[in-house]
Chain A
Amino acid sequence: MEKVLFLILAGISVAAAINVIFQRNTLYSAFSLIAVFGCLAALYVMLQAQLIAALQIIVYAGAIMVLFVFVIMLLNIRQEEEQKDRYHLYYLSLPIGVLLALEVYYGLSNIQDVSVPGAAVGNAESLGQGLFSTYLLPFEVTSILILLAIVGAVVLARKERDIPLEMLDALEAEQAKNKQSGKSEGKENN
């Protein structure tokens, strides 16, 4: 029963992940990624990691993907633009793909199934005890990281000037030219 559930969830997540790659519409590929995250949250519940499953839904499918969808809609990206001049590296794709497949196969061929007796349920209490005792310093460092990310995002996405960069360059060149001609005029007057 559990294996059937695992296979269904794994199938959905792999299909959605393939759709993320081969979908040309960026918005639909974001929605597929949300499906992957949902399946992974269900798998976390099967692994008795309830808090991580809840965080997966809240943080990933909720916050991060909403941010992605927001940016996609803000920038109004509908289709990926076609480009024809990247085919000169096609001959490299086969050997590198075979190499990657061999590597994955080698990595997966000698997995040993381990199972330790006992119980480890990842609920808020057990994770919180670890987070606020053994891992207190990394936890505080992550809060500083979040703070830096907030400041960085605000600084980077801020609108610095009303006119685009090229126009600013042209304007500066014009001003420099005016200044020079002004100087030369001044010299002539003297």
Chain B
Amino acid sequence: MVPLSWYLVLSAVLFTLGAVGLFVKRNIISIFMCIELMLNAVNLSLVAFSSFLKHLDGQLFVFMVMVVAAAEAGVGLALIISVFRNRESVDIDKLNLLKM
């Protein structure tokens, strides 16, 4: 039986990698993918807790997170398409209209 701590360590590593990617990447689509990675890391720890504490609420919460992630991906990618149509770029350093 794999102990709980292994799952939590894997979840923390994946979340950290997602957070690092969030800061390192400049492509807005890559940043979006890093957010998805972080959401999945959290899902892993929720499912692990749900399985080890023998309570299904964690998995129901994962269900809600998946719904939110799907909605976020749909709206976010629509926003990206709209931004690309206006600015011809997906580089976040060039999307600085609000900075001035």
B-binding residues in A (CB < 8 A): 2-3, 6, 10, 13-14, 17-18, 20-21, 26, 29-30, 33, 36-37, 40, 43-44, 46-49, 51-52, 55-56, 59-60, 63-64, 67-68, 71-72, 74-75, 77, 80-81, 83, 86, 100, 104, 107-108, 111-120, 122, 126-127, 130-131, 135, 138, 142, 145-146, 148-150, 152-157, 159, 164-165
Contacts and interface: CB of A to CB of B under 8 A. Distances in A.
Interface of B: 1-10, 12-14, 16-21, 24-27, 29-30, 32-34, 36-37, 40, 43-44, 47-48, 50-57, 59-60, 62-64, 66-75, 77-82, 84-86, 90-91, 93
21 contacts: A13-B14, A26-B30, A29-B30, A36-B37, A43-B10, A56-B43, A60-B36, A63-B70, A67-B74, A75-B29, A80-B27, A116-B55, A122-B47, A122-B50, A126-B56, A127-B60, A130-B60, A149-B72, A149-B74, A153-B75, A153-B78
A170 B20 CA distance: 42
Given A2-B2, A44-B47, A149-B71, 5 more contacts: A26-B29, A75-B81, A107-B12, A108-B12, A116-B53
Contact of A149 (B33, B70, B93): B70
Contacts, number: 210
